[in-house]
């Protein structure tokens, strides 16, 4: 099963409808479609029945599942996040040492690592179970941010579907579930299904708590034109170079006036002010990391292109609230 979500390469199956009263067959079905798992029936199998409808949409596997009697389950999530949304009843689970409870208007979200215990799935409980490929979700986030993320995503374990983006995500999931009963519908077309899948991934990223959520929900800045970006890249790569505004205009391939107007619109400040800010950031980083030795305010300032120490000190204080020697002394003292 691939995770590519674009057009003709969109990997999918189903919807598949399943009904069985065999416990062993149910274990095999759940493991094939979702995760390695164990399934126990406290009543010894009496009255047991499993029914479900399952479909894969690229990196999403979605199942509407229920059991005819009380069962307990344990899963080992590998390379996938998992979202359980009770359609009827309440769900109690344990993951990462935390007890979770979900019911109408909420869901439980599990990381792609470690066991999940569901000690009691009641006979009246019906779940929308959503397996989310971890690499696809993280790639979606990187695409939205326009940069790489570092380290695990660590989604929060509880999802609220009653307000804001969570309410919209619930409607998207409901649409997916409803379309699973319409095998000839548009969801069977890869171009439509792939766009719906991207919407679900984005909706989950904007609903669940994680360290990138605030950044993701902020309005995106306007895309910088190539000329401005070339100048920005030159400044960030070599801020110690004694650039003039004319030098930066040559790098950008535009006139000085066009560069200045472009920076004011897309960067929020003139080119030389941006250069000064980047240099101050490098000075601050160097002095904050200093372990003493031969580092002085003057040596660090000169390294990053500041030649007039008085003006440098005033600019540094305006940006950081300290004089440069105070930062250096706090680090070395």
DSSP state of 105: T
How large is the C-alpha radius of gyration of the chain? 27
What pLDDT is stored for residue 293 in this prediction? Answer: 59
Give CA torsion, residues 247, 253, 258, 263, to 10 deg.
Answer: -70
* CA–CA dist 251, 228 (Å, integer): 9
Q: What is the pTM of this model?
A: 0.67
Do 84 and 61 touch, CB atoms closer than 8 A? no
Report yes or no: 29 and 21 within 8 Å, Cβ to Cβ: no
Tell me the DSSP string of 255-316.
Answer: -HHHHHHHHHHHTSS-HHHHHHHHHHHHHHHHHHT--STT--HHHHHHHTT---HHHHHHHH
| Domain 7-217: top CATH class | mainly beta
Exposed/middle/buried for residue 226 (C-beta within 10 Å: 0-12, 13-18, 19+): exposed
Which percentage of the chain shows pLDDT scores above 90?
Answer: 55
Angstrom CA distances, 224 to 234, 237, 259, 268, stand at 14, 17, 12, 11
Q: HSE-up of 230 (CA within 13 Å, CB side)?
A: 12
CA atoms of 330 and 333, how far apart (whole Å): 5
Q: What is the pLDDT of residues 239-285, one digit of tens each?
A: 989 899 999 999 999 999 999 999 998 988 999 999 999 988 888 88
* The domain over range 226-332 is classified in CATH as 1.10.10.10: no
Q: Taking 50 as the threshold, does the pLDDT of residue 5 lie above it? A: no
CA distance 303 to 306: 7
- Of the candidates 66, 325, 296, which has an alpha carbon nearest to the alpha carbon of residue 177? 66
- Higher-pLDDT residue of 321 and 278 is 278
pLDDT of residue 123: 87
Q: Which band of pLDDT confidence, cut at 50, 70 and 90, is reported for residue 7?
A: very low
The confidence score (pLDDT) of residue 1 equals 33
Residue in 31, 158, 157 with CA at minimum distance from that of residue 96: 157
**Among 121-125, 282-286, 327-331, which stretch is predicted with the lowest mean pLDDT?**
327-331
- Taking the C-alpha atoms of residue 306 and residue 302, their distance in angstroms, rounded to an integer, is 5
Q: Is 16 helix (H, G, I), strand (E, B) or coil?
A: strand
Domain limits of the chain?
A: 7-217, 226-332
> Of the segments 8-17, 38-47, 290-299, which one has the largest average pLDDT value?
38-47
Give CA–CA dist 35/55, Å, rounded: 15
DSSP string, 179-244: HTT-TTSGGGSHHHHHHHHHHHHHHHHHHS--TTHHHHHSPPPPPPPHHHHHHHHHHHH-TTS---
How confident is the model over 280-294, as a mean pLDDT?
74
């Amino acid at each position: 099963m691939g995770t590519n979500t674009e057009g003709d390469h969109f990997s999918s199956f189903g919807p598949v409808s399943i009904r069985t009263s065999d416990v062993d067959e149910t274990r095999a079905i759940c493991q094939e479609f979702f995760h390695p798992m164990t399934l126990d029936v406290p009543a010894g199998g009496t009255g047991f029945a499993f029914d479900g409808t399952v479909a894969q949409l690229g990196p999403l596997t979605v199942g509407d599942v229920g059991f005819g009697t009380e069962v307990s389950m344990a899963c080992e999530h590998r390379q996938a996040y998992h979202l359980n949304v009770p359609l009827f009843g309440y769900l109690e689970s344990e993951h990462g040492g935390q007890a979770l409870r979900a019911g109408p208007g909420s869901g439980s979200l599990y990381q792609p690592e470690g066991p999940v215990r569901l000690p009691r799935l009641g006979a009246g409980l019906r779940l929308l179970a959503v397996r989310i490929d971890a690499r696809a979700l993280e790639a979606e986030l990187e695409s939205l941010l326009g940069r790489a993320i570092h380290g695990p995503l660590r989604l929060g374990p509880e999802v609220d579907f009653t307000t804001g983006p969570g309410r919209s995500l619930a409607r998207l999931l409901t649409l997916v579930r409803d379309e699973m009963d319409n095998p000839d519908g548009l969801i069977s077309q890869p171009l439509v299904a792939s766009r719906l899948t991207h919407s679900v991934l984005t909706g989950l990223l904007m609903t669940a708590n994680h360290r990138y959520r605030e950044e993701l929900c902020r309005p995106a800045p306007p895309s910088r034109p190539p000329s401005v970006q070339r100048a920005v890249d030159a400044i960030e790569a070599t801020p110690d170079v004694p650039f003039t505004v004319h030098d930066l205009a040559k790098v950008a391939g535009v006139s000085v006036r066009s560069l200045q107007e472009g920076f004011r619109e897309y960067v929020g400040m003139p080119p030389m002010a941006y250069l000064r800010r980047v240099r101050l950031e490098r000075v601050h980083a160097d002095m904050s990391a200093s372990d003493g030795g031969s580092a002085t305010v003057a040596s660090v300032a000169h390294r990053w292109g500041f030649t007039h120490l008085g003006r440098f000190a005033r600019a540094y204080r305006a940006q950081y609230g300290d004089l440069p020697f105070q930062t250096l002394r706090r680090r070395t003292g």
